[in-house]
Amino acid sequence: MSGTSSGNGLLHLNDVEAGLSKDNADLDHHLDPDAGASDPFDIAHTKNASPETLKRWRQAALVLNASRRFRYTLDLKKEEEKEQRKRMIRAHAQVIRAALLFKLAGENQIVSGAPVASPSAGDDYKIGLEQLASMTRDHKLSALEQYGGVKGLSGLLRTNLEKGIDEDEADLLNRRNAFGSNTYPRKKGRSFWMFLWEAWQDLTLIILIIAAAVSLGLGIKTEGLKEGWYDGGSIFFAVFLVILVTATSDYRQSLQFQNLNEEKRNIQLEVVRGGRTVKVSIYDLVVGDLVPLKIGDQVPADGVLIAGHSLAIDESSMTGESKIVHKNQNDPFLMSGCKVADGFGTMLVTGVGINTEWGLLMASISEDTGEETPLQVRLNGVATFIGIVGLSVAVSVLAILLARYFTGNTEDPNGATQFIKGRTKFDDAFNDVVKIFTIAVTIVVVAVPEGLPLAVTLTLAYSMRKMMADKALVRRLSACETMGSATTICSDKTGTLTLNEMTVVEAFVGKKKINPPAESSQLHLSVVSLLSEGVAQSTTGNVFVSKDGDDVEISGSPTEKAILSWAIELGMKFDAIRSESTILHVFPFNSEKKRGGVALRRSDAEVHIHWKGAAEIVLAACSGYLDSNGCLQSMNEDKEFFEAAIDEMAANCLRCIALAYRLCEQEKVPSNEESFDDWVLPEDNLVLLAIVGIKDPCRQGVKDAVKICTDAGVKVRMVTGDNIQTAQAIALECGILSSAQDVTEPTIIEGRVFRALTEKEREQVARKIMVMGRSSPNDKLLLVQALRKGGDVVAVTGDGTNDAPALHEADIGLSMGIQGTEVAKESSDIVILDDNFASVVKVVRWGRSVYANIQKFIQFQLTVNVAALVINVVAAISTGDVPLNSVQVLPFLVINEIWCFS
C-alpha cells in the first residue's frame, strides 16, 4: 500500500494513510457518525465502514513506517480514484449513447433495405465484430431491425435459437478468433524486485543502515578490519535479512490474493449448447451462445433478449443509477455486469470481454484486496500506545546516556573516563555518540511493535488459504476474524442442512394418495394432461431428450428438477406440450408470496392460469379440486382433509408443493402486448390438481456439526421458507431442537407472527427463536437486526437474491456456492463452495484460531519488548551503560519478521 503510504517520516500530519491534521479530524467528525467515540480505535460498525470511519483510526495512529503498517489495508486514495474512473467511463458511455439516439431520432430510422455492413472478421460470419459491438453498446434498435431482428441476427451468427451453438471445439475457437474471448486484460502483479525495493524504504531500516555504515567505518578505523567489522556487519546482516523476509512475505501474500480474486471472478453459468443446458465457466462464453437468465443472475456478456417474461434488470453497476429497467422486444439490449432483479428470459450473446462496457470498466481498474479488520483496528491502538512508550523510553535512554557521557560519568572497559572536556578528541567523542545513538535506535526497533497489526493480516491471509481448502471462499478478509466471534448462526434449511437432492415421494390427486406417486394408470387422462401442462409451462427448468430417447437430462433448481422428473414419469412430453400452447404472461415465483403463476393460450383458444407454490398457500386460494377420475369437486367439505394431508407430509420432513389452475375468461385477457406487463394474474377460485411431497434428506454429519457449535457456545437457528411442520421435523433431526418439548412458541415461530411484533418485542423474542418457518427474506432481515441489537455477533447463510439484505446486514454473510445467486454472493463475506453446514463450522474454527495465533504473537512480542526496555532503562540510569547493545537487540527484529513470514 505504499502508493499512498509514507515511510519517510515519523508522523505525516497531512497524509491520510499516516494521519491527518486536527482540522481534518474535526471535519471527519461531522461526516462520520462513529467519529464521536472517545476512543478512535473503537469502531462500532466495522463491516461496510465508510471511508471516514477508516480514516479515523489512521489519524490517531503513531506511524514510524506507514507503508509497513498499512500495506495490507485499504488504499483510500486509490479507492477514490477507482470510483472516479468508474463514473468517468459511465458518463462517457451515456454521452455517446445519448448522441447516437439524438442522431437516430433526427434521421428517424436507417433506410430500410440498406445493405448490411460487410463483416470485418472474415467470411465465417455475415456480421463483423464492429457492427455487433456498435449495435449492442449503443442500443441501436434500428440496426437490430435492419439485420432482421433477433431471428435474423442469430442467422448471421449461425446460432439456432432453440438449440444454441454446437459444442464443437473448432467452432468455439473460430468464434473466439472472430469476436474475442470473454476475458479482459488485467494489470500484472508487481514483481518480487518491486517488493524488495519497497521493503528497504523503511524509516527505521534506513536509520539502521546509516548507523551500520557509520559503525562499520568507525570500527574498521579504530579496531582494524579483522575485528572492527563485527558491529556494523552484524547490523547490515540483520537489516538485509529483515528486508528479504519482508519482501518474500509480501510477494507470497500478493500471489495468494491474486489467486483468490481469480477464483471469485470465475463464475459458473448455464448455457444452451446442442439443445442441452450445460454449465461452463464465464471465461468460456462466446458470441452466439444462448444464456438462460433468472432472478439473481449476473448478465455474463452483452447480448439481446430472445424471449423473456417480466424480466427486470438492475443496471446500477453500469449506469450508476439505482433504477430497475424492464426488458422486452422494445428494449432488448442487455449489458454485462448487470443483475437480474426479476423474471426470467434467454439472451443471445453479441459481445464478450473487452468489447463490452463492463470489460472496459474492469480492465481500467484494479481490485484492491486490503481492508481494515476489527482486530487490526484494535491492535493498531495497542501498537500506538506501546510505540509512544517505546519512543519515550528510547529518547529518555538517549538523553541519560548523552548526559552521563558528556558529564564524565561513563568509563571505557579499562576503567578510564570516556569523555574529558578539552582532552577527548572529536573523532573519539563522535564515535561514542554514534554508538549511543545506535543503542537508542535499536531500542525503538524492538519497543515499537509496527508488525503487530501486520501480523493480524498475515494470519488472516493464511487462514483464507486454509479455508479455501475447506470449501470456503473468503470474499472479505475481516470475515475470517469476525467468524471466530460469532455467537449465533441463522442457517437456511434447503441445501445447507439438507442435501438439496429432491425427489417426489408422495402425491395426492384429489383425495387419493397415488402409490407409487408417478403411477399414471391411477389417474384420468384429463388430469395427467392438465398436470403435464402446468408443470411444463410453469418451470424455468429444461428437459433434454437424446435422439435415441434413452437419456433424459433435466436442468433447473432442485425443486424444479424433482417436479419435472415426477411429471416425466407420469408421461409428460416436455417439448410437445410446450409447443401446444403459447405463454401469455408469467408471474415469477415470489419468495414473499411463495408461489408463481403462468397464463397460457391453448390451441383450442382457451386461456389457462396455472399456479404452483407452497401447498397451504395455494390450497387457501382453491375453491375446488379435480379427483383422480377428472371430476370437479367442491373444496368446502374436504379442505380439512387436504390440510391434514399437508401436515402429515410436513411432519415426515417433506416439502409440500401444490399445483392448481383455473380458466380465464377471454374478455379479461389483455388484447395487446403492452398491457400484459400490468396484468395481474387471477389467483382466486383455483382448482387444485395435486399436492406433492418432496423428500430432501439431511446431510450426513450435520447433527454432529450442530452439536459442535452448541458446545462451543454458538447457537444455531434455522430460518426457512418451508412449512413450519417441515422445519420442525428437520430441526429435530439435525439437533437444533433437542426434543419435542422444545416445540413451543416462540422457540419455533412463523415469519408472519414474528414480523407482526413491535421492534422491542422482536428483540426480546429473537434470542429465544430456534426455528422460523414460512419466513420471507424480510423476516430474516428483521431477525438479524433484532439479534444484533441484543449484542449477538450474527452469521447468516443465504442463497437467493432476496437474501442479500440479510447477508449485508449480518456481521458475517455466508452465501452458497452451488445454489447461490450472483446477487447473494456479491452481498456475502464468505462463499460456502459445497453448500454444506459442516463447512460453516470449519470457518468458525479457523476464525477462532486467528485469535489464538495473535494471542501467542502478542505474548511473544510484549515479553521481548518489556524485558529489553526494563533492562536497558534500569542499566542506563544506574550505570550509564546498557547491557543489550544493537547487535544483541536486532535479532529480536529478525525473529519478529520470520514469525510473521512463517
Which residues are annotated as catalytic? 492
User: In what helix (H) or strand (E) does residue 875 lie, and over which residues does it extend?
Assistant: helix 837-879
- Please count the residues of the chain: 902
Provide CB contacts within 8 A for 66, sequence distance 6+.
5, 6, 7, 12, 15, 17, 18
Cβ count within 10 A of residue 698: 18
| Cα 846 from Cα 347, distance rounded (Å) | 42
3-state SS class at 33: helix
| Cα 694 from Cα 310, distance rounded (Å) | 28
Q: Are 718 and 731 in contact (CB under 8 A)?
A: yes
> Hey, what amino acid is at 496?
T
| Cα 777 from Cα 809, distance rounded (Å) | 12
Cell numbers describing residue 424: 577527548
| Cα 745 from Cα 723, distance rounded (Å) | 15
- Cell 487490526 sits on residue: 376
User: In what helix (H) or strand (E) does residue 578 lie, and over which residues does it extend?
Assistant: helix 574-580
Q: Are 334 and 304 in contact (CB under 8 A)?
A: yes
User: In what helix (H) or strand (E) does residue 655 lie, and over which residues does it extend?
Assistant: strand 654-664
Ramachandran angles phi, psi of 587, nearest 5°? -105, 100
DSSP type of residue 3: T
Cβ count within 10 A of residue 902: 9
- Cell 503487530 sits on residue: 452
The residues pairing with 614 across neighbouring beta strands, listed in sequence order, are 657
> E-assigned strands of 299-338?
302-314, 324-326, 333-334
| Cα 820 from Cα 836, distance rounded (Å) | 12
User: Which has the closest alpha carbon to 436: 419, 414, 420, 460?
Assistant: 419
Q: Are 832 and 817 in contact (CB under 8 A)?
A: yes
Provide CB contacts within 8 A for 650, sequence distance 6+.
656, 722, 723, 724, 725, 726, 729
Q: Are 57 and 40 in contact (CB under 8 A)?
A: yes
3-state SS class at 843: helix
> Hey, what amino acid is at 848?
R
| Cα 564 from Cα 574, distance rounded (Å) | 9
DSSP type of residue 820: -
Q: Are 532 and 567 in contact (CB under 8 A)?
A: yes
| Cα 177 from Cα 302, distance rounded (Å) | 17
> Hey, what amino acid is at 587?
F
Cβ count within 10 A of residue 576: 10
Q: Alpha helices, DSSP H only, in 123-168?
A: 129-137, 141-146, 149-156
Torsion-angle region of 549 (φ positive above 0: left; ψ -120 to 50: alpha; else: beta)? left
DSSP type of residue 368: -
Cell numbers describing residue 541: 427448468
Provide CB contacts within 8 A for 706, sequence distance 6+.
716, 734, 735, 736, 837
Please state the three-class secondary structure of 486-529 as a single string: CCEEEECCCCCCECCCCEEEEEEECCEEECCCCCHHHCCHHHHH
